[in-house]
Amino acid sequence: MFWNEIWDFVKRNIFAIVLIVTLAVAVPWSLIFVLPIAIFFVLLLVVIWRVRRQQQKIFDEARRQAGEQHQQQSQHSWWRKANKSEGEVTVVRTEPTEQRVNDDVGEYVDFKEIKEEETK
């Protein structure tokens, strides 16, 4: 009958049955242990990707700003060279710097260097 057919199938395919039973028992347990590890590595890869993408944005912005600054400087130097004749001197005044420390802070100390005699 039906059970005899199953028993004959098992006797003929013993290795296939052992493999199927082993996988049926092992796969759920391996998923319990492997799945969190796999999720950890996927999240780690996502974090690394996001950090590198943010880093690339920062470097691109810095390059863009440096390029604009270089372009402005080259335009100014071209303008200066075009409007300046040879031997002409230009004085550019800058804003006076603010005094950072008040006059009443600190004191002057007079000191005198004293040479010590060498002992023999």
Least confident of 34-48, 55-69, 104-118: 104-118
Q: Is residue 88 part of a domain?
A: no
pTM, entire model: 0.39
Any domain includes 54: yes
Express each pLDDT in 33-56 by its tens digit. Answer: 888 888 999 999 999 999 999 999
**90: Cβ–Cβ under 8 A, 6 or more apart, which residues?**
80, 84
Instruction: Kindly state whether residue 16 falls inside one of the protein's structural domains.
Output: yes
Judge contact between 28 and 22, C-beta under 8 A: no
Reported in sequence order, the residue ranges of 10-113 that DSSP labels E, i.e. its strands, are none
Q: Is residue 13 part of a domain?
A: yes
- Please check whether residue 118 lies inside any domain of the structure: no
pLDDT score, position 82? 56
Question: CA distances (Å), 27 to each of 16, 20, 41, in order?
Answer: 16, 10, 20
Domain count, the chain: 1
The residue with greater pLDDT, 45 or 11, is 45
